[in-house]
Amino acid sequence: MTWNWQKSDWPRFSWDKTRLPKAEEQLLLEAGIFVGTSSTWDPKDREELTVAAISTEAVTTSEIEGEILDRASVQSSIRKQLVLHGKSAGAPS
């Protein structure tokens, strides 16, 4: 993967605006499929997916900055932060 700052036109950004509507349509279609599918999952499974998504974002964002985080530690911290009033964020109230 080439980082933005490694591209020859850095820092002058450009894009092909004709590609955006097709990409947006694809995103909305796949998001709808995902939401429809995940709505049938057990709350614990949805919570695990949330933890995985947030931890992936945290780990990869930190890598950009040159910081290497332990994924298991990040996931543990996220799980602790998702606990609200003694219940997990995915549990029914």
- Report, in this order, helix, strand and coil percent for the chain, each rounded to 5: 60, 0, 40
pLDDT in the model for residue 83: 72
pLDDT tens across 33-70, in order?
989 998 899 988 888 888 999 999 999 999 988 999 99
CA 3/CA 70 separation, integer angstroms: 23
CB 46 within 8 A of CB 90: yes
Residue 51's beta-bridge partner residues?
none
Check pLDDT > 70 for residue 5: yes
Peptide bond between residue 92 and the one before it cis (omega within 30 degrees of 0)? no
Instruction: State if pTM tops 0.95.
Output: no
> 33 or 1, which is more confident?
33
Q: What mean pLDDT, rounded, does the chain reach?
A: 86
